[in-house]
Amino acid sequence: MIRVGEDSVRAWVVYPARREGAGVVIAIHDNQGMSNWIRAVADQLAADGFIGIAPDLLSMKDVARREDGESDPAAVRAVIGQVDQATRDRFIQAVGEWGTKLPGAGRRYGVIGFCWGGSTVFAHAVAAPAALGAVAVYYGTSPATESLAAVRAPIIGFYGGADQRVNATITAAEAALKEMGRAYEPHIFDGAGHGFLRSQEGQDGANLEASKQAWPLTVRWFRTHLTG
């Protein structure tokens, strides 16, 4: 449990084998809430050399868990809309700064998010905490272009070619960030659908192929900007 003012955030924390200079990466869950899958993402981040932290942004809502550890879907749907972006930013920043104070941690943190979490971390780049060093957006919509001037951290984005709703927000964000000299690197994978990293068996192999390409790029991005 990580204290955030009068609140607390429950988080899954996984340490890498390296002793010093490990980048901290915060993995933000999708609209299914805290899950075994997002904990596995933190596990994989640690295997790739980072301190991986998966916070439950619905911690203060006390969402029920099933016996298998997954958040109850109905309970998540009932409360996830109540957690506004300002609250998400406050929780993520607190978790990130907590992570950078851990033994062996680097001084900056990165964020990676999926679906609801992807939109959340893109918007967190707009909040621009000083310790935020890098952002990876997985199939999350972009914020309003007029807000993007606040972005400082470099952003990489991963999108399924068949995910038209989300992809409709890419062009405007890319143009605005390029004009302002900000780093935004979108990757669109042909045939892949929304949620491809979690649903790698879908889209007749396109989701798996997208995942095989996207994850190494993600690791490289964080190594460059957090530990490079």
Pick the closest to residue 31 from 9, 57, 11 (CA basis): 57
Q: How many domains are contained in the chain?
A: 1
- Answer yes or no: are the C-beta atoms of 131 and 49 closer than 8 Å: no
Full domain range(s) for residue 81:
2-227
Rg (CA), the chain: 16
CB-count burial class (<10 Å; 0-12, 13-18, 19+) for 90: middle
Q: Does residue 228 carry a pLDDT above 70?
A: no
CA contacts within 13 A on the Cβ side of 120: 31
Tell me how far the alpha carbon of residue 46 is from its chain's centroid.
15
Q: Choose the weakest-confidence range: 37-51, 55-69, 119-133.
A: 55-69
Mean pLDDT value across residues 170-196: 97
Q: Which residues lie across from 22 on neighbouring strands?
A: 105
Distance (Å, whole) CA 66 – CA 69: 5
- pLDDT, residue 20, reads 86
- Mean model confidence pLDDT for the chain: 96
Residue type, 222: F
Please tell me whether residue 118 adopts helix, strand or coil conformation: helix
Q: Which helix (H) or strand (E) holds 12?
A: strand 7-14
Q: Does residue 113 carry a pLDDT above 60?
A: yes
Task: Quick: pLDDT tens for 25-35.
Answer: 999 999 999 99
Mean pLDDT value across residues 2-12: 94
Rounded percentage of the chain residues whose pLDDT exceeds 70: 100
Q: Does residue 119 carry a pLDDT above 60?
A: yes
Mean pLDDT value across residues 46-59: 97
Mean pLDDT value across residues 83-96: 97
- pLDDT, residue 109, reads 98
Q: Does residue 160 carry a pLDDT above 90?
A: yes
CATH number at residue 100: 3.40.50.1820
Give the CA distances from residue 66 to residues 12, 18, 69, in Å, rounded to whole numbers and listed in that order.
Answer: 17, 34, 5
Please tell me whether residue 128 adopts helix, strand or coil conformation: coil
- pLDDT, residue 19, reads 79
Q: Which helix (H) or strand (E) holds 109?
A: strand 105-114
CB burial readout 196-216, b (16+ within 10 A) else e: bbbebebbeebbbbbbeebbe
Distance (Å, whole) CA 225 – CA 117: 20
What DSSP state is assigned to residue 69? S
For 226, the token pair is 């957090």
Band (pLDDT 50/70/90 cuts) for residue 21 is confident
What DSSP state is assigned to residue 102? S
